[in-house]
Amino acid sequence: MPVGTTRRPAAFAGRLLAAVALLCGCCCAIAETTDELLQRADRLKTGDNAAFQTLLGQLDAQAASLTPVQRDWLGYFHAWQLGYAGHNAEALSAFEGLITRSHDPTLLARARISMVDDQINTLHYVDAYTTVEQLLESLPQIQDHYAHYASLTVAAAAFNAAGQYDLALHYVDEALAYDHDARASCIALTRKAIILNKAGKLHADDAMLREGIDACERIGDPVWGNLLRIQQAQALVAAGDHAATMQLLAAHDAEALATRDAEVMSWFRALQARCLLAQGNLDKAREYAQSAIDHGIQQAHSEPAANAYETLYEIAKRQGHHEDALGYYEKYAAADKGYLNDVSARALAYQMVRQQVLDKKRENDALAEKNKLLQLQGEVESKTAQNRLLAIALLVVGLCAIALWAYRVKRSQLKFQKLARRDGLTGIFNRQHFFETAQDTLRYGARNSREASLLVLDLDHFKSVNDMHGHAAGDAVLKRAVHACQARLRSIDLFGRLGGEEFAILLPDCSEATAVERADEMRAAIAGARRTGDAAADVQVTASFGVASTRMCGYNLPTLLAKADQALYVAKNAGRNRVATFQAETVAPTASPSAA
């Protein structure tokens, strides 16, 4: 076909149409005020993040002509984008600067709402729950409709992170009752699905999931919609339906990556990697697991990262790459332990902040009571001598009320101090108190040349118990294992939870040989333990033990822990459900299970 006959007119027509479109766009941009641009940016944040960033660049170019309030809103959007991309520490710093300089009540509420996720992701849990309490306290004064609604949903998310599922459901249901439009339904139903999933109460065919996804699709928000799909996919994986999980996630994988949301991208790839592993596609599973780690939130430990490292470990083990498998397992164990420790830290932070709120309320109530009594005293003193007797009586009542308040506060402080030394689930020593007490015991043993032994035990395949039976069953298994061990301990033995499913036992005045025998008794007791009526009555677990003695390793607790950990890894690698000891030249199993 001759070039000059048709293509040039077509090209000219295309350029003409493009010019007309550009002119129309410029006219629209001229007609749109700065406040309207800011409002449009607020709507685009998660629905079309690329367009949102482009709009921020357009607003940055106009920064010199913006009012102080408009510049603060622009700063809010930039801080929000940092958190959205996973740069939570930088986002938190930007929000704190904004709160210091801004006087706009709606903007202050929005900044605190956005800060909560960043504080949780940077492990500032006490700050996060303090911010949530401030939001809830100021709720009656928040006039902006969206900020009021968002305060309820972020409180629900924060309480869910602390394991307070009933409290979280209360606030998310309150949010659903407060606002019924598509955007509110999308966000609140997503929060509710996450809470139910964490509580082990979500089913893959729950009608709420379809309702929430439809609401998110109506507003064109792929982030919240894909967070809902992640909850549905986790429920499908828990049910063992890997084919349906892959079909659900693969259809939206490109969309999830395009959102640039760290949590969405990491979970999508980690779950698909797990399904590909189950289907035997090891190369693709490795690619997706590494992608989950690369796209993850920038923090020390996260649940999808632990999931991805476990997948890489399983792949390397199946392919016979034992050195790689050990490396991946160590990263998985560290990530999983870190995640579980973060869960415990969030729960403890919630309790600390809650206790501070209660203490402050008691102080305010007592102060109000005292002021009231002083006022009454002044009125009584202005009357006759007969009424002065009544004033004295009232003063005595006030002093008694203050003394009662002081007694209750002291009792609460003592109770909280006791809780701070004990693991909330099992009742044994927590990590910090175990370390302090064990080191003191070892110092005494060193001064008196008394031999001691340290046991480190870890429940085998505990992650699969949570995945297959839920966290309630996992908690029941942990308590059952602790009970089995406690029945075989002396009053002088120290028993502590190091984190997750890992425990340590210090046996004073105990030789290595005796320690091995006692460890094997505990191992057998755990393997044979049954307890009817709990959430894990039909779940059997085993444990691996590592043993180190002061005779071989000295009286330094970190050294003993490290050597016992080395022995534990030998027991794990030798097939689990067994006891291994640390020796000077090598580490080798010293006892085998009765039934492998």
The CATH number given to whatever domain includes residue 56 is 1.25.40
- Number of CB atoms found within 10 A of residue 44's CB: 20
Minimal CA–CA distance to 547: which of 535, 565, 530?
A: 565
State the CATH number of the domain containing residue 587.
Answer: 3.30.70.270
**pLDDT at residue 29, as a whole number:** 42
* 584 belongs to a structural domain: yes
- Residues 499, 528, single domain; the answer is yes
CA gap 568, 574 in Å, rounded:
10
Q: 3-state DSSP helix/strand/coil percent for the chain, to nearest 5? A: 75, 5, 20
Minimal CA–CA distance to 587: which of 456, 494, 446, 431?
A: 456
Domain termination site, one of 109, 142, 175:
142
- Residues 84, 122, single domain; the answer is yes
Q: Per the structure block, which two tokens stand in for 138?
A: 């100021």
**pLDDT at residue 594, as a whole number:** 44
* 287 belongs to a structural domain: yes
* Residue in the block written with tokens 């709720």: 139
Number of domains in the chain: 4
- Residues 477, 563, single domain; the answer is yes
**pLDDT at residue 412, as a whole number:** 57
* 111 belongs to a structural domain: yes
Minimal CA–CA distance to 329: which of 319, 315, 342, 343?
A: 315
Minimal CA–CA distance to 405: which of 356, 359, 348?
A: 359
Domain termination site, one of 391, 421, 451:
421
Contact 523, 545 (CB under 8 A): yes
Contacts of 8 (CB under 8 A, 6+ apart): none
**pLDDT at residue 551, as a whole number:** 93
Strands 494-499 vs 543-549: parallel, antiparallel or unpaired: unpaired
**pLDDT at residue 485, as a whole number:** 96
Kindly give the parts of the chain with pLDDT less than 70. 1-31, 297-301, 384, 387, 406, 409, 412-419, 531-537, 584-596
**pLDDT at residue 595, as a whole number:** 38
**pLDDT at residue 301, as a whole number:** 64
Q: Where are the alpha helices (DSSP H) in 239-321?
A: 242-250, 253-259, 262-278, 282-294, 303-318
- Residues 314, 353, single domain; the answer is no
pTM exceeds 0.85 for this model: no
In terms of residue numbers, what domain contains 475? 431-591
- Residues 471, 405, single domain; the answer is no
- Residues 579, 436, single domain; the answer is yes
**pLDDT at residue 180, as a whole number:** 78
Distances (CA, A) of 421 to 147, 279, 475: 39, 45, 19
- Residues 409, 439, single domain; the answer is no
pLDDT tens string 297-310: 655 567 888 898 99
Max CA-CA distance within the chain?
120
- Residues 459, 487, single domain; the answer is yes
- Residues 415, 482, single domain; the answer is no
Dihedral (CA of 239, 240, 241, 245) sign: positive
Domain termination site, one of 421, 444, 468:
421
The torsion of the CA quartet 116, 54, 265, 217, rounded to 10 degrees, works out to 90
**pLDDT at residue 564, as a whole number:** 96
* Segments of 349-479 assigned E as strands: 452-459
Classify residue 385 as exposed, middle or buried by CB count within 10 Å of its CB (0-12, 13-18, 19+).
Answer: exposed
Minimal CA–CA distance to 198: which of 148, 151, 242, 159?
A: 159
Q: Where are the alpha helices (DSSP H) in 498-575?
A: 512-528, 550-553, 557-573
Classified as helix, coil or strand, 502 is: strand
- Residues 411, 448, single domain; the answer is no
Residue type at 123? L
